[in-house]
Amino acid sequence: MASETERKAEMPEGPAAAAVLAAGVGAFVLAALVVVVEFSAAVKKLLNWSEAVGPLSGKTGVAVLAWLVAWALLHNRYRRQDGNFGQAYTIALWLIAASIAAVMLLFPLVEL
């Protein structure tokens, strides 16, 4: 049976770091679109892919596409490397925290 060190050598952390970073990018894109749609009628109309759902359909669709593209690009870049998973996790958490903060700060301003 392989030891922990041997398994770690066989499985680089790059792909996992790429997946975590891509999730942070997707969350950030979704939050950015939420903010932009509140201030731009043109973007709101552009992202209205379904009348029943409204611009939420476009916002989530674009965010999912951004997540998939980021994941594919980052995975391709780091697939054979033993990246720093802790650093990728920290960056992803900061992106998610910035996303939440932007949306939470935005909505009280929109109501004014």
What are the tens digits of pLDDT across the range 26-59?
999 999 999 899 888 999 999 999 999 999 999 9
Q: Are 58 and 46 in contact (CB under 8 A)?
A: yes
Q: Which of 102, 107, 96, 110 lies closest to 28 in space, CA to CA?
A: 96
Q: Which residue has the higher pLDDT, 11 or 19?
A: 19
Domain ranges (residues) in the chain? 13-106
The structure tokens 């951004």 sit at 66
Q: Which residue has the higher pLDDT, 106 or 61?
A: 61
Q: Are 103 and 37 in contact (CB under 8 A)?
A: no
What average pLDDT score do residues 87-107 get? 90
The model carries a pTM of: 0.81
